[in-house]
């Protein structure tokens, strides 16, 4: 039986979230299809040396259309030093299946820009 298209999505979403959690913004940026979107996430976080991300929670992964598009909803908990007040940032990303790849994490890519960070 051939794997379902969605089988590769969950590991990709979790890998992206982990890269954000550990501030591997270059690694996270590789999931974006458009170069402008890759550069956008890097620019968003490059100057935020005082950013501490405490958690990323994946609230939902919704497959849409013919199973080749998806919307993820994530919640980032973070604080900006010197403050230790934890804030919550909820965001959505649009993903698209790009075909079966040798590395499963390359099969799904983000087609939307990273939303404006507060």
What's the per-residue H, E or C state across the chain? Answer: CCCCHHHHHHHHHHHHHHHHHCCCHHHHHCCECCHHHHHHHHHHHHCCCCEEEEEEEEEEEEEECCCCEEEEEEEEEEEECCCCCCEEEEEEEEEEECCCCCCHHHCEEECCCCCCCC
User: Count of alpha carbons within 13 Å of 90, Cβ hemisphere only?
Assistant: 3
Q: Is residue 83 part of a domain?
A: yes
Average pLDDT over residues 113-118: 93
- Does residue 118 form part of some domain? no
Q: Is residue 115 part of a domain?
A: no
Provide the residue range defining the domain that includes 61. 5-110
Domain count of the fold of the chain: 1
Of residues 107 and 100, more confidently modeled: 107
Is residue 103 one of the residues assigned to a domain?
yes
Position 1 scores a pLDDT of 36
Note the pLDDT of residue 3. 42
Residue 50 lies in a domain: yes
60-97 residue pLDDT tens: 999 987 888 999 999 999 999 999 999 999 999 999 99
* 2 pLDDT above the threshold of 50: no
């Amino acid at each position: 039986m051939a794997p379902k298209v969605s089988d590769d999505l969950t590991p990709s979403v979790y890998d992206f979230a982990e890269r954000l959690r550990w501030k591997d913004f270059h690694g996270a940026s590789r999931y974006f299809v458009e170069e402008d979107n890759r550069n956008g996430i890097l620019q968003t976080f490059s100057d935020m040396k005082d950013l501490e991300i405490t958690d990323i929670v994946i609230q939902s992964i919704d497959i849409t259309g013919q199973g080749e598009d998806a919307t993820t909803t994530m919640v980032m908990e973070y604080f900006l030093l010197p403050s230790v007040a934890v804030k919550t940032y909820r965001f959505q990303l649009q993903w698209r299946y790009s075909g079966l790849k040798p590395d499963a994490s390359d099969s799904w890519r983000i087609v939307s820009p990273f939303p404006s960070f507060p």
